[in-house]
Amino acid sequence: MNQVDYLRISLIDRCNFRCQYCMPDGEELHYILKEQLLTNQELLKLIQGVFIPLGFTRFRLTGGEPLLRPGVVDLIKAIASFPETQDLSMTTNGFLLANMAQKLYDAGLRRINISLDSLDPNTFEQIIGNHGRGRWQQVWQGIQTAYRVGFDPLKLNVVVIPGVNDHEVLNLAALTINKSWHVRFIEFMPIGNWQLFGDRGWVSSTQLRQIIRDHWGLKASQVRGAGPADVFQIPHAKGTLGFISQMSECFCDRCNRMRLSADGWLRPCLLNETSQIDLKAALRAGISTTELQLQVKQVLAVKAEINFKQRDSGIVDTYTRTMSQIGG
Ligand code: SAM
């Protein structure tokens, strides 16, 4: 297995969108109470006192919607200031980005992934849960601002859902031709909305690549991501196309990450709900960071076993947490 040095940190489980593929239809989500969230101080203590000593150098802030987290700019400043931090990035829906991009950049954030599942405002509204008009425009403005401010690489995440946005694959891929934007197609996973998954199914990366290859041709990119994406390029394009194929492939051997939820649960694998540990409860019970390092080390030691052999253990029928709750 790869060395595990990358922590995805969920800052909050709430989101200002209700994306169809992420949230269960018509059900109330049970949000984490404010007092159950890791405070900024606790989070920084875990990063500095537990994860950095264990060799973690790369951090991604996600959620829910990370830009909804109060004090997110200060948090970025603090994480970026640790000398061991080699990479600090964020996954966001981009809705609040137009006003925040410069502040985030000045605080030390350099890489950003923005979810953009459609270029058609109506389809977009449908996917994000019809919160009203103008959301697509605001996200698009957020993307343009982030690009102007200098975020590099700027990645756009697309979950492809049959009959919803699969007809837009070429238009979305075309965004990489003239700008060094990186579009990443993510296979739809049965987490969050089983009903939609059952109704619609998913489109494989192989199918998507064929559609793109038939139109422009496609070559393997020289740019190699550190993560699970297979990276390709339309000939002569400035940006790249990434394909994240967790449904059609097992890339556990390339997995280099763990996930920390907003309420302090550390999970070794996105798809596994066993072997997670409650770091917040441990911190609040006064357990030292040295002892917590040992506990995290134990989780690291069983990660390979969990990835390859127990991917579905601990799951009865459905995953109990959505991506917005785990930290996508
Ligand atoms: N709110 C932020 C955003 O929209 O990017 C960050 C959190 S969101 C949960 C992170 C990523 O998870 C998004 O790119 C989203 O597309 C992806 N995601 C959520 N549910 C998914 C599912 N069922 N299958 C595949 N990807 C999913």
Q: Could you tell me if the CB of 324 is within 6 A of ligand 1? A: yes
Count CB atoms within 10 A of the CB of residue 268.
Answer: 25
Closest CA to 127 of 138, 116, 137, 111: 116
Q: Could you tell me if the CB of 327 is within 6 A of ligand 1? A: no
Q: What is the mean pLDDT of each run of 10 residues along the chain (328 residues)?
A: 90 93 77 93 98 98 96 98 98 98 98 97 91 87 98 96 96 97 93 79 94 97 76 97 89 87 92 86 98 96 72 53 71
Contact (CB, 8 A) for 223 and 231: yes
Q: What is the pLDDT of residue 310?
A: 60
Q: What is the pLDDT of residue 250?
A: 79
Q: How far is the CA of 184 from the centre of ligand 1 (A)?
A: 12
Using the atom order of ligand 1, give the atom closest to the CA of residue 193.
Answer: 23
Q: Name the residue at shortest CA distance from atom 16 of ligand 1.
A: 159
Closest CA to 69 of 262, 280, 323, 259: 262
Count CB atoms within 10 A of the CB of residue 301.
Answer: 10
Q: Could you tell me if the CB of 205 is within 6 A of ligand 1? A: no
Q: How far is the CA of 328 from the centre of ligand 1 (A)?
A: 5
Q: What is the pLDDT of residue 151?
A: 96
Q: What is the pLDDT of residue 138?
A: 96
Q: Could you tell me if the CB of 68 is within 6 A of ligand 1? A: no
Query: Rounded distance, CA 294 to CA 309, Å?
Result: 23
Q: What is the pLDDT of residue 131?
A: 66
Structure tokens at 207: 């199918």
Q: Could you tell me if the CB of 22 is within 6 A of ligand 1? A: yes
Residues ≥6 apart with Cβ < 8 Å to 321: 191, 261, 273
Q: Sort residue 131 into left (φ over 0), alpha (ψ -120 to 50) or beta.
A: alpha
Angle (CA) 53-307-316 rounded to 5° is 120
Q: Could you tell me if the CB of 245 is within 6 A of ligand 1? A: no
Query: Rounded distance, CA 212 to CA 301, Å?
Result: 40
Q: How far is the CA of 65 from the centre of ligand 1 (A)?
A: 10
Q: How far is the CA of 323 from the centre of ligand 1 (A)?
A: 6
Q: Name the residue at shortest CA distance from atom 10 of ligand 1.
A: 328
